[in-house]
Amino acid sequence: MDILSPRIAVLVPCFNEAATVADVISAFSSSLPTATIYVYDNNSTDGTAVIARAAGAIVRSETRQGKGYVVSRMFSDIDADIYVMVDGDNTYDASAAPRLVAHMIEHRLDFVNGLRQSDAIEAYRRGHRFGNWALSSLVQAFFGRQFADMLSGYKVLSRRFVKTFPAMSSGFETETELAIHSLRLRMPSAELPTQYRERPEGSQSKLNTYRDGFKILLFIARLVKDERPLMFFGGAGLVLLAFGLLLGIPVIIDFAEFGIVPRLPTALLSVGIVIIGVLSMCMGLLLDMVARTRVEAKRLAYLAIPAFDLPTLSLSDRKAA
């Protein structure tokens, strides 16, 4: 990679964004004049692909419905040094892209997340701001406190991030998966503030607050199960163990006092719950070893891809060059 002229790809996943996609392409063409802009159309019915092609973008399609499928296809198809991923709804500030890219290069990062900042109430639909905070806080609790706006659609990614990303989600959960991929592999990452504005007139959000929020919540639970099995199964085991012991305390008291077990069904239920709790904790320990091995293998694959080959120049020298 020539750091003075890296290959930059702007990735724009689109579904029925005819009202805004041309403006997005124009804005990013101006802010990143050397970048190649790719629009991936996801079964649009409003002429998004035709408008995007006329605006100068390279247009491709993904027939499986869902942003996760589109991201998977883009990451598989496109080869570049730096990837700028942005939604096609014209709510993100294209003029911030050079700053995000420069920050990635300057600090040798693999992932830069755009932290949305906006004073416009209309920029967030009802419940979106709270839902984003709640889900981001949940991920911070389980995987690390690095991203305050996990669901932002504005991200800058390195080649080795993209080419090691598993892309297992199908819908809007892909934003969560991107953040957790960075956290699990301990990639050098950052989050920078960017302006966020309301959708232009005639453009409608495809995100369903409750349905997609619930899907993201389930996806986080699945990732905790897969990536933090000791926490998931061990926590469940401790709860069952405590419940079983509490259930068995009256039985133990009766036996100590009278020498008999008058509540045999309760005693059997208590023993059964305690056994299940112990088994759950043991399963958590075993799966944790498997998960650690998987993470080590993924990190080795990630490290096998070269990082930015930065020359020993100052930032001012690179800008002058």
- 157 and 135, same structural domain? yes
Q: Who's near 153: CB < 8 A, 6+ residues apart? A: 85, 86, 87, 92, 114, 175
User: Could you tell me if residue 313 is inside a domain?
Assistant: no
- 273 and 138, same structural domain? no
pLDDT tens digit at each of 321 positions of the chain: 444 578 999 999 999 999 899 999 999 999 999 999 999 999 999 899 999 999 999 999 999 999 999 999 999 999 999 999 999 989 999 999 999 999 999 999 999 999 988 775 555 555 566 666 777 777 777 777 778 888 888 999 999 999 999 888 777 788 888 988 998 888 999 999 999 887 666 556 666 666 767 777 787 788 788 888 888 899 899 999 999 999 888 888 887 777 777 878 888 899 999 999 999 999 999 998 998 888 888 888 888 888 765 443 344 444 444
Count how many residues are written for the chain: 321
Amino acid at 23: D
- 234 and 204, same structural domain? no
User: Could you tell me if residue 314 is inside a domain?
Assistant: no
80 in Cβ contact with 36 (< 8 Å)? yes
pTM of the model: 0.77
What residue numbers bound the domain in which 278 lies? 229-299
Cα–chain center distance at 55: 29
- 77 and 133, same structural domain? yes
- 276 and 222, same structural domain? no
- 287 and 222, same structural domain? no
Name the token pair of 49: 């692909």
**Can you point out the beta strands (E) in the chain?**
8-14, 36-41, 58-61, 82-85, 111-117, 155-158, 189-195
Question: For residue 101, what are the β-bridge partners?
Answer: none
CA distance linking residue 117 with residue 196, whole number of Å: 6
> Nearest-CA neighbor of 167 among 70, 304, 79?
70
- 174 and 86, same structural domain? yes
User: Could you tell me if residue 91 is inside a domain?
Assistant: yes
CATH number of residue 155's parent domain = 3.90.550.10
- 241 and 179, same structural domain? no
CA distances from 107 to 116, 118, 302, 312 (A): 21, 26, 18, 13
- 256 and 138, same structural domain? no
